[in-house]
Structure 1
């Protein structure tokens, strides 16, 4: 992606992106592993709620007048052990698992933008690209783009998320689960059914392009009420559907996702009473689990397990591809996931920033220390194994 017909424009106001909304949607549809968080619909709501202390820098790549790629970035101030630094990063904040350029060719798009960024006035100390699925849909594109742009970078593990492969039938999937997992699910099926009539509801509107954009606030409110009734009602993490500080963000995103065709709302009723919910976003067969919960006042005999199983089976029958259960809480997800996926962080330290240089040196020393400590532990373990072998 280069040549005399190539140009890049930078947009710094969220409302200025409306003019490329159709191009954004077109490109997202062909982006490898594209997800709802990479949509303009999501970014607009995110920026409305969390734009404070951030400066928007969205780069639009055009070739012969046609938009071929979009790289949403922002400049943000963060605290480090060397003081406050400015980073050029994705406007994402780990709301989902992965993020990246919007393009059929993310590597070429990102490479063009990175070269362009170096020619503009520097307002950052670090380029800090987070939540990159190097081993998945990204396939190393980010690393290669940075290298081709002449931007030496350090690679760090960032997070882990848990996938369920939905491209199989339910019986085959269940057969791969542990005996305890199968037993736990079947016990939940039986015990909940003994308490009353079970009804499963899934609401997945296809979006305003298909004439289906009703947010069904009655269903969303039910999810919120269940969250309030569960342990989440007293949570202080600030991330649950019912938490006051982010509740409006979630509601605004729900409305936007309904218009975009990315709402995937699952409810379980027991004898007519709302009992459990799983709220997801979906895009092109990739389902991301945002929040889930159950009402212990209705039952505490496996509502969450039952709903998860029914939802996964329905997804398999629908032809969904991947269920991303999200990061964290591996013990709660161990019965369900089929693979663990890593996300990575790529950091380039500006040679023109003293803070960046100091931070780079500090990180290298810390990395050497960790590596030395790991080698020492490994050598100690090997020595003990050798001694045990000899003694035996």
Structure 2
């Protein structure tokens, strides 16, 4: 027998701590962003104007899946729209249920949502990597429940396959990529001794939960001296808007054994940093920077190369270097993966039916003429960057 429990208070997640950790360890693409720890910190900072709706799926009393959702309002050309979506705001490249059987979890969740209070106009699931970790589970779940949906390209993320040797990887890089990396190594070695420090504590369960604030403060100092110090985007680790969120998430990830901090020292001076999460061998590269006052001779390239080399030696599986800044990443990534947005329109909602029709018309124009109106549906609350649009 399958049943669903709905949690609306963030503290209630603690009652499912062990189940959440167990399921996350066997979830395809189960990154730290799907962890209870990350959600609790995220909710602490970005709860405003959202309502929590976490669905716990049980089979004969055993928790088999978790679907973190939130309710919020977004703007459209046709008025305010209420959506159920992931409590995620695109901090990572992809998202989904916490379960080894994502399709079954989604089906149970959809059945519950269709038969419970209808306080939403859209089920709007974003950052679904259909051809990768999701494996088509989201589409099959919608289809199995006879829920007609629209599918939109959402983003493109760049990955580095770490399941190879450094020598194999470097050999497969373009000639210019190898040249720029070896030049950076040579130039910086001529300036002084290079040290790569990687701090990856295993967490409280292993007695390794020291946050090493001295190392984190070095990252902040480097960020202040880099382009990030003057950035107005509101998404750097030193920006007033999110700096405490980054610090709180850092501490939580360390306790969970999910943090990966990298520092490059040149002649003993902190010169470059990388702020990452790691879970199940999957690394999410979040923020990095270097101090131009120390050197401008390829510190960023050296840092990435050292991280990749060390990760391959450690047996890590994949590095997600995120979206955007393609030119800066083009020599490093081994694949580009699409993520998608799936939208189900409530048939009893007037605004949902208007949006469904407008999306279909826009898709028709795009397919026929290669362009469409992209301003139909906007979501600007809590995003790191200007939100994607339909």
TM range (shorter): over 0.9
Q: How does 1:181-196 map to 2 (within 5 A)?
A: 181-196=177-192
The farther-off stretch of 330-339 and 147-156 is 147-156
Tell me how far 1:351 sits from its aligned partner: 0.8
Determine the C-alpha separation between the residues in 2 that align with 1:152 and 1:8.
Answer: 22
Aligned position for 2:137: 141
Pick from 355, 358, 362 the counterpart of residue 362 of structure 1. Answer: 358
Note if 1:61 corresponds to 2:61.
no
Residue 83 of structure 2 aligns to a residue whose secondary structure is: strand
Tell me how far 1:374 sits from its aligned partner: 2.8
After superposition, the CA RMSD in angstroms is 0.8
Aligned position for 1:384: none
Query: How many pairs align?
Result: 371
Q: Deviations over 1:156-206 (max 9, x none)?
A: 000011000000001110011111000000000000111111111000000
Aligned position for 2:349: 353
Q: Which ranges of structure 1 fall in alignment gaps of 5 or more residues?
A: 376-392
Residue 278 of structure 1 aligns to a residue whose secondary structure is: strand
Aligned position for 2:237: 241
Note if 1:214 corresponds to 2:210.
yes
Determine the C-alpha separation between the residues in 2 that align with 1:221 and 1:341.
Answer: 34
Q: Deviations over 1:249-293 (max 9, x none)?
A: 000000000011011000000011100011110001100100000
Q: Deviations over 1:111-139 (max 9, x none)?
A: 01101100001011100000001010110
Structure-2-length-normalised TM-score:
0.94
Q: How does 1:4-83 map to 2 (within 5 A)?
A: 5-83=1-79
Note if 1:110 corresponds to 2:106.
yes
Determine the C-alpha separation between the residues in 2 that align with 1:149 and 1:92.
Answer: 25
Pick from 278, 283, 286 the counterpart of residue 282 of structure 1. Answer: 278
Structure-1-length-normalised TM-score:
0.94
Residue 326 of structure 1 aligns to a residue whose secondary structure is: coil
Aligned position for 1:378: none
Higher fraction of helix: 1
